[in-house]
Structure 1
């Protein structure tokens, strides 16, 4: 595939000057699709990666101390959703184990944080989290990629089992989800960030902690990896953990620029957290064309937050106490349940786990997620529960809300009251145009009166002026695109 490199000339100057905050190749093949100049990442994070499954099977045997003749071949179990990890099961004589092979997105840090998150939650809650038997966070190993070997969690994906559950099973699941949120909310930190095992010395300090054991590394880390972890994960938490770079799903969009660890360091206010993920890193990796849209999202978020000056949940004063642990990707495919009882049997895929503002994550899971019913998300109007006409649905909604309030009134406040902030956050981290809907959201938010000027005062900015600015930016963007296309055509002809 032909690449337009950073020093390619165009009528508007060099590519580097056009995209001063981007320094990665632009893929000409993407011109077959609708795109903006932001789409300069890769189509597939596995391009260039070569995974040796024979070596992986051998390591499974080594770690679990099983003869090769008693270990079944790798069986792929997530082929349809293998963007960031490929998952394989291995049948052993007495159990099944799972190996998760990690794509080269945020090398070292994402795997280190994922393992530390599972260790942290296993040691401090009663939630069903996989035990990691061994892992390797450096791709320079016989497998050819980072990997984790974990216990197999029983159960069926919540989304798959849902339609077959009866009301008593759904009520049990509702209680388990409430318990999950409540246990997460007890885990606090002084800032927003991923969680890592502390590395305080120049050696690979992986001593066994009998009270809070760590998952074992398959091999000691290289001096360079240790240095990087010490440099970026130096805000200490309790019992051998530290805050470090955060891995929100929005920051892992490999088709865009994936910001480096130094661009996603922990933040210690909600405002800085929102800016970090809205701008796709600090310094920002958003394009000149897209950055003003993100700035408007941040401005809107700040304006809403300032409506709660004394709130210990939504306002700026909440920063002193409300950074809590969260899974980061808690959807109904990452929760396993017992289809007979409805009980949660496993919580998987911890790569985005981190400490975040409490309101940001308490939105329900699967059927219990209400944000899309009660507020505009992206370009979609609220669904207002219009398709839920079964009295059992009404009863289950009421049961979930009532039990959530009884268990933890603050979580209930986040669940209902945080929907507007979450909607703006969703817009802030959305993909750029043409796939993203942020500009549509901002316009519709104002036109549909989501900002009630009678109660809140004037809208945070003059929308007509903003729309004119967007049109001007669009015109500049199209000229840049045309220039790059012409330059690519010349290069191809040569």
Structure 2
């Protein structure tokens, strides 16, 4: 019998349960969109299974002279997650030189022949950064470091006045044509490029997008509901699009993701923990009042675009040169505070080396060799040379990111948010000699947690007893 969970655990173990996918229909759509015959289109081949998460299933189709990828989207945050991912890829492709897959067609409504939302896109060459790393030379790693610096720099220059995901602007029922307006000289020009949307949206979906994605970003794009990776956790309650609307300050962002939506989806048992994280973050953030990079004043200068889930499995590289050849999985992309986005990737990420994360002590670069130290110095120096603000966020934002990561953790018994808070306090990370008194009385907080634990244990015991009684009646 499954053990009762805290109230926050109202999601699912596997979002694909009950979903029927028609791969033959998907293959037919590939032929239709790319104008190839059935004899020229190979059978769908599953790829990336060793790293496959439940958010998507990915298949490759071999066509004459090239391959294409179909990403099938799990039914999480219907419509908005797929629209946000496609909007992000198109936006970054149009505004940067970064290697982002081209979208050939997509459908953000599950009511299509495939049975789920899907995105048909360009196949990116290379291999995953994590798989290539151990076999790379120092020269190749230095080239990768330069490309990572360029990646962060280009994304950081894309700004918006608020925090949220990006969506194509939608103006009419005939949304197969996405309207793009541009200013050339003193005149406004309107053009209607062919949309990659496979079929026009239903009236209901169109209304939802027009209602919830109404903050202009730039020509043809609007700001809309945030698809942060922490609030796409399918094992928890996933907040609706109306609970993740754009916010316009860093503290509003921290509150939104800590509370898992607004209104919150956190339980009465877990909410007090999230409230303490918001209080801790606000107290720390105030200490950065004079900086336009890390502090509250940053909002006046806009928020930068970020991938949102940038790890070594989402970056493809050329194993011969170390060059980045592809950046995939843009479902969590959004405008965010720069300090949250610039944390390094894979081996280049230093947060866990320097600060506590969850229950883990800082690694303090204990496994680094002399060559490693030189490579890290190379990355930091190039980051600073390219954009000093990026370096400030990379190095100075470590504590902010650690608190945010703990604040957005899942609840007990698996999550370790409260353990982080206790360690943070008792191991002196606040440093009262420099920062003044800790934001709250930790002893009183711990007493409150004991009281809440007792209430929760009684609730879980009652649920367990009720379930046992029900099973007994069914058996008899």
Report TM bin, short chain: over 0.9
Return structure 1 stretches of 4+ with deviation > 4 angstroms. 208-215
Deviation per residue, 1:82-135 (Å, 9 max, x gap): 310000000011100000000000000000000000000000000000000000
Contact 2:228 2:332 (8 Å CA) reproduced = yes
For the aligned residues, what is the CA RMSD? 1.4
Correspondence for 1:463 among 414, 430, 442: 442
SS at match of 2:310: coil
Higher mean displacement: 230-239 or 101-110: 230-239
Q: Which residue of 1 aligns with 2:185?
A: none
Aligned residues: 463
Q: Which residue of 2 aligns with 1:48?
A: 18
SS at match of 1:91: strand
Quote the Cα distance in structure 2 between the aligned partners of 1:202 and 1:481. 49
Q: Which residue of 2 aligns with 1:26?
A: none
Query: Please, which runs of 5 or more residues in structure 1 have no aligned partner?
Result: 1-28
Correspondence for 1:317 among 297, 320, 333: 297
Quote the Cα distance in structure 2 between the aligned partners of 1:455 and 1:321. 28
CA 1:231–1:412 in structure 2 vs 1: closer, same or farther (change >3 Å)? same
SS at match of 1:380: coil
**1:36: how far off?**
2.8
Deviation per residue, 1:48-95 (Å, 9 max, x gap): 110000100110011110100111100000234131000000001110
Deviation per residue, 1:411-458 (Å, 9 max, x gap): 000000000000000010001001111000000000111001011111
Q: Which residue of 2 aligns with 1:15?
A: none
SS at match of 1:30: coil
Correspondence for 1:482 among 433, 438, 461: 461
SS at match of 1:123: helix
Contact 2:359 2:416 (8 Å CA) reproduced = yes
Q: Which residue of 1 aligns with 2:71?
A: 100
**1:308: how far off?**
1.3
Q: Which residue of 1 aligns with 2:407?
A: 428
**1:30: how far off?**
3.5
| Pairing 1:352–2:332 present | yes
Q: Which residue of 2 aligns with 1:86?
A: 57
**1:403: how far off?**
0.6
CA 1:322–1:30 in structure 2 vs 1: closer, same or farther (change >3 Å)? farther
Within a 5 Å distance, the mapping from 1:223-302 to structure 2 comes to: 223-302=203-282
Deviation per residue, 1:379-417 (Å, 9 max, x gap): 1111000111x2111110110011110000000000000
**1:153: how far off?**
0.2
Correspondence for 2:84 among 102, 108, 113: 113
**1:321: how far off?**
1.2
Q: Which residue of 2 aligns with 1:407?
A: 386
**1:202: how far off?**
4.2
Q: Which residue of 2 aligns with 1:14?
A: none
TM-score (norm 2): 0.95
TM-score (norm 1): 0.92
Query: Please, which runs of 5 or more residues in structure 2 have no aligned partner?
Result: 183-190
Correspondence for 1:180 among 151, 165, 182: 151
Quote the Cα distance in structure 2 between the aligned partners of 1:291 and 1:152. 43
Q: Which residue of 2 aligns with 1:192?
A: 163
Q: Which residue of 2 aligns with 1:437?
A: 416
Quote the Cα distance in structure 1 between the aligned partners of 2:2 and 2:470. 16
Quote the Cα distance in structure 1 between the aligned partners of 2:181 and 2:158. 20
| Pairing 1:379–2:351 present | no
**1:205: how far off?**
5.6
Correspondence for 1:39 among 6, 9, 12: 9
Q: Which residue of 1 aligns with 2:186?
A: none
Quote the Cα distance in structure 1 between the aligned partners of 2:174 and 2:204. 11
Contact 1:119 1:214 (8 Å CA) reproduced = no
Correspondence for 2:346 among 362, 366, 371: 366
Q: Which residue of 1 aligns with 2:29?
A: 59
Quote the Cα distance in structure 1 between the aligned partners of 2:443 and 2:80. 43
Q: Which residue of 2 aligns with 1:168?
A: 139
Deviation per residue, 1:356-375 (Å, 9 max, x gap): 00100101000000000011
Quote the Cα distance in structure 1 between the aligned partners of 2:357 and 2:293. 21
Q: Which residue of 1 aligns with 2:187?
A: none
